[in-house]
């Protein structure tokens, strides 16, 4: 029996995912970029995919951090790229949101989410600690 997600009837048991992942303390040095695997999702039907994520990171000192998921494959059709500039010299832990959308995906198409982080500003390395969020699919034309 089909289930209803919002106003979209679906034959699939769960056309979305909620997850929390420990990135493993991946560190990115000053004036460098790093990438971290978030997950792989298979489209349950032809349509669009939406990812709304939040990343947690920490460092000690003045630093500039920028994050996004635009390096995912296939490349998203729309994405955010947020940044945080810290002007303190103490130990800090913070978080930034990010989102991406993919349009016109085929049923069964695989989307691999990749967190991209850039660090710059003359300060210390930044430890990317965890990521959480929701990934959901909608039918084409729904």
pTM of the model: 0.79
The answer to whether residue 4 sits within a structural domain is no
The answer to whether residue 68 sits within a structural domain is yes
List the 81-86 sheet strands across, edge first.
32-42, 110-120, 63-68, 81-86
Q: Is the pLDDT of residue 124 over 60?
A: yes
What pLDDT, in 10s, does the model give residues 90-116?
778 889 999 999 999 999 999 999 999
Predicted local confidence at residue 10, as pLDDT: 54
CATH of the domain at 38: 2.60.120.760
- Of 1, 9, 23, nearest to 139 by C-alpha is 9
Q: Is the pLDDT of residue 6 over 60?
A: no
The answer to whether residue 79 sits within a structural domain is yes
Give the whole-angstrom CA distance, residue 35 versus residue 71: 9
The answer to whether residue 94 sits within a structural domain is yes
What percentage of residues in the chain have a pLDDT greater than 70?
A: 82
Domain, as residue range, for 68: 17-139
Predicted local confidence at residue 20, as pLDDT: 65
What pLDDT, in 10s, does the model give residues 45-55?
899 999 999 99
The answer to whether residue 5 sits within a structural domain is no
The answer to whether residue 23 sits within a structural domain is yes
Whether 31 and 121 have beta carbons less than 8 Å apart is answered as: no
Place of tokens 């460098």: 32
């Amino acid at each position: 029996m089909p289930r209803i997600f919002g106003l979209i009837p679906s034959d699939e048991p769960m056309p979305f995912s909620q997850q929390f992942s420990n990135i493993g303390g991946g560190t990115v040095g000053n004036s460098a970029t790093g990438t971290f695997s978030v997950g792989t999702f298979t489209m349950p039907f032809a349509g669009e995919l939406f990812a709304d994520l939040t990343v947690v990171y920490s460092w000690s000192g003045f630093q500039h951090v920028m994050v996004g998921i635009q390096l995912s494959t296939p490349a998203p059709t729309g994405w955010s790229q947020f940044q945080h500039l810290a002007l303190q010299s103490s130990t800090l832990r913070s978080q930034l949101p990010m989102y991406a959308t993919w349009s016109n995906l085929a049923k069964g198409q695989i989307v691999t989410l990749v967190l991209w982080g850039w660090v710059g500003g003359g300060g210390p390395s930044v430890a990317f600690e965890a990521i959480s969020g929701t990934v959901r699919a909608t039918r084409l034309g729904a």
